[in-house]
Structure 1
Amino acid sequence: MTRIVVAPDGRRLAVEERGKPEGTPIFLLHGTPGSRLGPAPRAQVLYRLGVRLITFDRPGYGLSDRMPQRKVASIAADIEAIADALGVDRFAVVGRSGGAPHALACAALLPERTTRAAALVSIAPHGAEGLDWFAGMTESNVFEYLVARAGPHLAATRLASLAAQIRADPESKVLSLGREGSESDRRIVSDHGLRQMMVRNFTEALRHSADGWVDDVLAFSSGWGFDPAVIRVPTLVWHGENDVFAPVGHSRWLGQRIPNAVVRIQQGVAHLDALSVLPRVLPWLTRELSQQAG
């Protein structure tokens, strides 16, 4: 059931909870574009792992109000507001694809409340020193970021058109990920269950507008509002070596930048394999809080 949480500035945030109500709280941050209804482990898996999974629509997506000119760092205040509303003191956080930089924002800016963080198939900050940001990236993503860097109006125009196409035929967006991606991505897309979860995710994300998508891309195309080097909470960085949507060099850069990060680069897999790796990441995320509870 969807719950609406009101942020301190009056914006509405749409929140969903799954799994074990008294379990270890973990925020799962969706990709770009995405929503609170994005792919997640099945309820029985969450119960078995003792996980209370919390998802929400980032501003401008689904049922959440827009926050114009937001930065990646802005998400920390929203997550803190949701945690307060749900009565959650400390929590772990995991972000997938476009959600990964936002998970790192929690680790950097909410160190007293974030126990562990995982960034799956993340991009690195715009202008990351020593990183060829576009190397190995698929042409459509390169174009999307270049348009964003040219100005907000151009980004809004392009993504509004793409969002309208996706609303008319959301499965086409999912299938395009397989066509543009690696063989591993095509294997994920061929799974009927996962494909339907992705269709539902995109449908909900863009139900009203492309605002969340636009603001994500603009946020990724400018400074994040924090330096990953300040992160001190235990952090896992995972990436599929064959990723063409967020090339693996981005996670290698983050792994070098974040002190004591655990870096896992998996061969033979790519971007969409972050969907299937999540159940293996959850036990790592629960470790500290589980030990405290014991």
Structure 2
Amino acid sequence: MALTELDVPLRDGGSLHAFDTGADPSSPLTLVWHHGSPQTGAPLEPLLEAASARGIRLVSYGRPSYGGSTPRPGRDVASAAADVAAIADVLGLERFAVMGASGGGPHALACAALLPERVTGAVTLAGIAPRTTAYDWFAGMASPGGLQAAVEGRAARAAFAETEESDPSQFLPVDWAALDERWATLGADSARAGEAGPDGLIDDDVAFAAPWDFDLGSIGAPVLLVQGEGDRVVPAKHASWLLAHIPRASLWMRLDDGHVSVLDVVPDAMDWLLERS
């Protein structure tokens, strides 16, 4: 599958670095992928393989401060919709589905809510829910320090980043196995994103902890929520909360999966989107 890279100009003078597997008149679906936090936005090998096997056109991009995209401190989750619309306009995409993993989940939902005439369906895998007082948002997170700092604002989150260390307890043995084998490209890409600096992750966390500026209840497209029961990064309660607040949502709860191993559902989730395209 050929992969083209492009820089999409934005009205504010910035740009987004995007990837596209290319137009094919016979393609049954175009899918816009929203990466996790932190990653560069480059499509991962298992995604490319699953999309190619189904004839799906795959588009992905780096959010601001990731993978060569221009920084935009203070961005909110809702801004992803305008960013994706700009990419879609350049590529000539009228209708498409969205899929996001972990930190990409909220941004996929923003597109579903704010681009109702263009988004045919949405999938989130281990996606975080909006911060709410309806339950303990942090409960079950093995390492919530970054998000707790983000509640206090960008300066506090940036200060936390100066001493932040990776916590291996966030991942189950099945997650580590996935990172060693099927999803090794995810770990490598996350490391590349981290080497470029913490700004993308800082801005993601601040956006997650702040109001998302769109209404989940306004999403008219079908939404599939995929969640690992044992997830220690984004606990299962987040998925059940989203299920209760998105009108046409379905939930696939994976009893033996964690935060990374749940990505093995990607091919089945693509099939789910194809059935609704």
Q: Same fold (TM over 0.5)?
A: yes
Match for residue 170 of structure 1?
Answer: none
Tell me the residue number matched to 1:183: 173
The structure 1 residue matched to 2:202, chosen from 206, 211, 214, is: 214
- 8 Å CA contact 2:125, 2:263 repeated in 1: no
Please state if 1:241 is matched with 2:245: no
Would you say the 8 A contact 2:174–2:258 is kept in 1? yes
Equivalent residue in structure 2 for 1:99, among 88, 104, 107? 104
TM-score by structure 2 length?
0.91
Deviates more, 1:98-107 or 1:146-155: 146-155
Please state if 1:133 is matched with 2:133: no
Aligned equivalents of 1:232 and 1:202: distance in 2?
Answer: 32
Question: How has the CA–CA distance of structure 1 residues 130 and 82 changed in structure 2, closer, same or farther, with 3 Å as cutoff?
Answer: same
Q: Percent identity?
A: 36
Aligned-partner SS, 2:30? strand
CA distance in 2, matches of 1:19, 1:187: 32
The change in CA–CA distance for 1:133 and 1:81 in structure 2 (over 3 A counts) is same
Runs of 4+ residues deviating >6 angstroms? none
User: Displacement, 1:261?
Assistant: 0.8
Q: Distance in 1 between matches of 2:125 and 2:86?
A: 24
Cα contact 2:20–2:58 (8 A) shared by 1 = yes
Q: Is the 8 A contact 2:19 2:43 kept in 1?
A: no
Structure 1 window deviating more from structure 2 (69-78 vs 278-287): it is 278-287
Counterpart pick for 1:14 among 17, 24, 28? 17
| Distance in 1 of aligned mates of 2:48 and 2:148 | 39
CA distance in 2 between counterparts of 1:160 and 1:14 reads 26
Among 6, 9, 16, the alignment partner of 1:3 is: 6
Q: Evaluate the alpha carbon distance shift between residue 194 and residue 259 of structure 1 in structure 2; reply closer, same or farther with a 3 A threshold.
A: same
Corresponding residue to 1:273 among 256, 261, 264: 261
RMSD of aligned Cα (Å): 1.9
Residues 17 and 161 (structure 1), Cα distance of their counterparts in 2 relative to 1, 3 Å cut: farther
As a proportion of its length, which structure holds more helix?
1
Q: How many residues align?
A: 272
Deviation at 1:107, TM superposition (A): 0.7
Please state how far the C-alpha of 1:135 moved relative to its aligned partner. 1.4
86-95 or 147-156, which moves further after superposition? 147-156
Structure-2 change in CA distance of 1:268 and 1:27 (3 Å) = same
Q: 2:157: which partner in 1?
A: 155
Distance in 2 between residues matched to 1:238 and 1:155, nearest whole Å:
28
Q: In structure 2, which of residues 183, 191, 200 is the aligned counterpart of residue 194 of structure 1?
A: 183
Report the equivalent of 2:64: 59
